[in-house]
Structure 1
């Protein structure tokens, strides 16, 4: 019997090429290719679970048409020379084993190549200095360098580079390519009035600005022949005020439609304006699911005969089925959700969607600064793809008696991996609830991704044969008595409470997540001390409950912004925007000095003056500190080389560090 997801799993033939379903991998950059731009065996193995899991097309992001001219990733695939063909065939033939189409997003990033990377100014449609170059120059301590306006000869050369890149892909066994015409890359630099200031046949009117894109697609078709599919990625709206907006994009599509086979509809810009419009093509967990689907829907309405791919926070195939059934698109592209669970298509085809491992949209996978191989907060297999072949944990040569102390994400993933290894596992959880820090993290109504993940995690652990002891604190005496062969200590962390501040122990002072979860009473006028992610999420949550909320933070504007970016990626930007929209005061440069019954006293670090903030409740969100003393007490309850401290008990991190740390300890026992 087939699945109930008849639209997702409907096959389609394009140019005689069979695609088994409508699910495509939106293009990631795994950072596992060779540094000279060639394909590696590691790259093939990293992609294998995605091919095996049932996806129809695998796209890989930002493959350059010429690494010597346009290069902005450490291990970027280079399609610019014939030497790429043989290694590419490893990738193509691996995917073909699973009736999957291997491919690349073919790109020239134009203005965004740094001078330092290639030794010359970048090429673009026009000679401009972009906001991203201004930021880069400031960071590097040099003057901004304008891009070089492409001559007609350079345009012709670049058109041929695109065509030759796709021909090399075909030579390697591929039959489809995604041409990157969006997000402010070179093709869109020609298409957009934001970047194209030319006065010749490549600039001015919409039709003239479409010319370069059309020449690229026509050159590709001429080079690869008819039995090759051209998908073209576009930003339906660049969002930036002077950029290309949707009404003009529809006109652009009129000129493009006869030169392509599929239109891949995204939105936003990549790096300009300090990544302000990054959120429009890579949404964070505070944003709606299916964020850009309306653009694809409206394109499909205007061009019903054009095949359309939609992308942007399509977090499940339930949503994908709805999109396809409504006729809003012909393909659904997913990246982070498929990295979170490469087997998602297979699970849906087998009518068990509840087994999908949900994506958090936390962007823990975006490890570019500094570059690292991509991994995932909820899928620890991606971080050890070389050690764990095909995502299957191998059985241990010797069955051992193992204890896991702590039922948060680190402990639960350790427990599951230990059971997969075949060990006799006992998990100790001192409270009456599993989930650890994920429980408060998922509490706010707007944390929909985390809520789905917590439900999945708690359901998943019930499938394993471990003995789980709730309301049981594992002491050294208990562990010593049981004589475990190995122990994983995942006891987590505790909130930081600055004990020397006068009044900090007053009864109206609480840890912010406890207040959100209703564990402690709160009044109507709240001050939250700490403007990190925990504090800002609590502020938004309480504001939506109708409370009067104020946030104070010790860092200044620049340091606070950087700190939020480091801890919460671009969700931090979103939190600040929501704070402003909901008119929640955020007072920076303020250090808590004293808590009184009806107010707090802070020191303004910029002026040195004392400032008062009236309140009836004080909520602390000053961070966490490892339960080092608890972990240390258990270090000698088994052979010391077989005791592992993981998760927040080792160093306070996030769900990703907990998940990966617990799992990685377990697979080596």
Structure 2
């Protein structure tokens, strides 16, 4: 037993299965399937987490019926063709001592994608009640269809058990089909599946009984349920707890996995993958309530549990029996083994940015992590390959791109020197962390700085690099990661009204008291963060965005929380405008669709969140002199931390 984490690294018995520890990777869509089947990429992804020491992996939701295809990349378990792929995952994961379950899923009305030909699907549900997130109007299921779907759950469970999985999990969380039956706002039926609480619980009880009958005691059977959907028309906590109690009394379950939220609304869906604005372990109170009604069944809990110390506290308090740490494992699959070894300072902590994990999923791309682009790319970058010839590598710039390149180059055996003109490594991450609600983002720099030390990179701060410096360094390979500077659009300046850029404001330069207009070209967190920062400093603020609304380029759950904060702060938003000019006390904007002027009078300052321009001077100078150099990150063209770190990985891996 681990002295620092005696509860976290103790075994847990779930029905016929014993987990080696209490760290869980919950089911999450990876977009690593092909035609509904398991791929080599998906096997490699889960194998990496098993190798890192996780106790339980729950494979992503698998459709139990042809009507369950809620995305074009959903994993399916509706016929026997799925068995071989599941068996490959089970065998790979079992080699490392990790247990593996599979999810049994039907979305009901929660359908995200269209058909392959672009036409809309015809989702099914207990009743024809629309939902507001995807603007879906389902059709009502006939009784015989309900029976067919229940059989689909049982048949899918049998396939997963036959494939060698250790358990199956019925998805009744987040407003999916079983929750729709439980919910009196979504279930308006007057037959045996609607009306009374007992009738509304009939579907999920039928499913659980059918699954248990199909698999017997050879695998564990669990239920994942939202204990409150955080939506006015969602499943309430009392009804969810009653469903847990009924199923526990029926004796058909071996565990309950606790979460909150619903896919059916914007605010409710934010709890599916809560961003950094939510506190760690915030779902623990709901898990505690479930433990009180399920008669000793093990309870798993989710909700931004990112560090082993947090998980240990939850377990020690008796609030849950295991902790779901999915994004922590996306960010660092070796987190369990590092914690077991007492190397908690070496763990790459998830920062809850949602950009490359759930953000990629929503865009239809395989998930990854902005801090660890190896995630989802295990087949290409799963193991660091030692270089055939050791080189002297010079990395110029200590932002995320430069730090990642230096780390990978050093891990490959090269002699690496990183020079940074500033006093700290981190680049624009050091600015991002100063904005309201973004402090945790600074972990991206902290984690990479730790990796530099671990890799033995020679880091030299306060060292500008020019052509002469590079020539004197006599490096075999030069990587230029000099970043970017704020971009300033061409404005008509007709007076003395201050015009500041984002870096100036974040750096502490404050506009005069009064009304400040923040113009946001990119539609990311910078403009929103500046508006909030100025509002906190007691300015009246207008956020003038270039798109249809603020935060258009943010992942939905992050955007929702950011926009809610704008509303709470009383910040006015002007959509579809671009800055045109200023005079002494007026700011002139132009509507992007009509071309008509939009004027803000009695203003005290204009703040520009207008993106960045690449700092390419040194790179161009080196190339002009015939010195081989590779540019990465924003000095190629400004983008985000994700692209910077990825290019650091790609470039250093090719040296």
Asked whether the two chains share a fold, i.e. TM above 0.5, the reply is yes
Residue 382 of structure 1: aligned partner:
375
Tell me the equivalent position of 1:89.
87
Tell me the residue number matched to 1:290.
281
Name the counterpart of 2:516: 527
The equivalent residue for 2:414 is 423
SS of the residue corresponding to residue 560 of structure 1 reads coil
CA contact (8 A) 1:509 1:618 kept: yes
2:612 corresponds in structure 1 to 624
Q: Report the Cα offset of residue 434 of structure 1.
A: 0.9
Which residue, 154, 157, 166 being the options, matches 1:163?
154
Q: Does 1:372 align with 2:365?
A: yes
> Match for residue 588 of structure 1?
575
- In the alignment, structure 1 residue 611 sits paired with structure 2 residue 599: yes
> Equivalent residue of 1:328, what SS?
coil
Equivalent residue number for residue 37 of structure 1: 36
Q: Is the 1:626–1:652 contact (alpha carbons within 8 Å) kept by the matching residues of 2?
A: yes
| Distance in 2, Cα, partners of 1:95 & 1:39 | 14
Q: Closer, same or farther in 2 for the Cα pair 1:468/1:636, shift >3 Å? A: farther
Separation in structure 1 between the aligned mates of residue 178 and residue 651 of structure 2, nearest angstrom: 46
Q: Deviations over 1:70-126 (max 9, x none)?
A: 212333222111222222111001111111112222101122346735997333222
**Counterpart Cα distance in 2 of 1:567 and 1:376:** 15
Partner of 1:14: 14
Check conservation: 2:497, 2:585, Cα contact below 8 A: no
SS of residue matched to 1:361: coil
- Aligned residue runs from structure 1 range 194-273, under 5 A: 194-258=185-249, 259-270=252-263, 272-273=264-265
**Which aligned pairs between 1:505-584 and structure 2 lie closer than 5 A?**
508-518=498-508, 520-525=509-514, 527-531=516-520, 532=523, 533-544=525-536, 546-555=537-546, 559-561=548-550, 564-584=551-571
* Residue 528 to residue 435, structure 1, CA distance change in 2 (3 Å): farther
The answer for the alignment partner of 2:124 in structure 1 is 123
Aligned to 1:139: none
Correspondence for 1:141: none
Find the counterpart in structure 2 of residue 142 from structure 1.
none
Q: Does the 8 Å contact 1:483/1:637 carry over to 2?
A: no
Alignment pair present for 1:65 and 2:72: no
Give 1:500 deviation, angstroms.
Answer: 3.6
2:362 and 2:618 map into 1 onto residues whose CA distance is: 34
1:368-393 deviations in whole A, cap 9, x for unaligned? 3542221110112114311223xx31
Corresponding residue for 2:333?
A: 342
Q: CA offsets, 1:268-303, max 9 Å, x none?
A: 222x34x34211221122232223222212222444
Compute the RMSD of aligned alpha carbons. 2.5
Q: What SS does the aligned partner of 1:566 have?
A: coil
Q: Any idea what the Cα deviations from partners look like across 1:201-257, whole Å, max 9, x if unmatched?
A: 111122111111111111111111113211101111122212211122222222222
Tell me: CA distance 1:638–1:412, structure 2 relative to 1, closer, same or farther (3 Å).
farther
Instruction: Tell me, in whole angstroms, the C-alpha distance in 2 between the residues paired with 1:448 and 1:105.
Output: 35
> How much has 1:596 moved relative to structure 2?
4.4
C-alpha displacement of 1:396: 0.5
Q: Return 5+ residue gaps in structure 1 as ranges.
A: 136-145
For the residues of structure 2 that align with 1:54 and 1:632, how far apart are their CA atoms?
A: 46
Instruction: Report the CA distance between 1:177 and its aligned residue.
Output: 1.3
Alpha carbons of structure 1 residues 560 and 635: separation in structure 2 relative to 1, 3 Å: farther
Q: Deviations over 1:457-489 (max 9, x none)?
A: 323322333332322222223223434322222
Matches within 5 A, 1:342-361: 342-361=333-352
Cα distance 1:155–1:541, how it changes in 2: closer, same or farther (>3 A)? same
2:527 touches 2:543 (CA, 8 Å); kept in 1?
no
Distance 1:82 1:551, change over 3 A: same
1:396 equivalent to 2:387? Answer: yes
Structure 1, residues 134-161: CA drift from partner, whole Å, max 9, x if none?
46xxxxxxxxxx5343233222221111
1:27 is aligned to 27
Asked whether the equivalents of residues 187 and 212 of structure 1 are also in contact (C-alpha less than 8 Å), the reply is: yes
Q: TM-score, normalised to structure 2's length?
A: 0.92
Task: Look up the match of 1:75.
Answer: 73
Structure 2 Cα separation of the partners of residues 521 and 30 of structure 1: 43
Question: Residue in 2 aligned with 1:656?
Answer: 642
Within 1, Cα distance between the matches of 2:237 and 2:101?
Answer: 28
TM-score (norm 1): 0.90
Structure 2 CA distance, aligned partners of 1:300 and 1:448? 34
Deviation at 1:331, TM superposition (A): 1.4
Structure 2 distance, partners of 1:158, 1:424, is: 60
Structure-2 separation of matches of 1:526 and 1:351: 52
Q: Say which of 151, 174, 185 aligns to 2:165.
A: 174
- Is contact 2:234-2:262 (8 Å) kept? no
Contact 1:31 1:372 in 2 (8 A): yes
**Residues 512-543 of structure 1, C-alpha deviations (whole Å, 9 max, x = no match):** 2332332x354443624224321211222333
CA deviation profile, 1:554-612 (whole Å, cap 9, x unmatched): 435xx235xx2323543122111111112123333444343445554445666935523
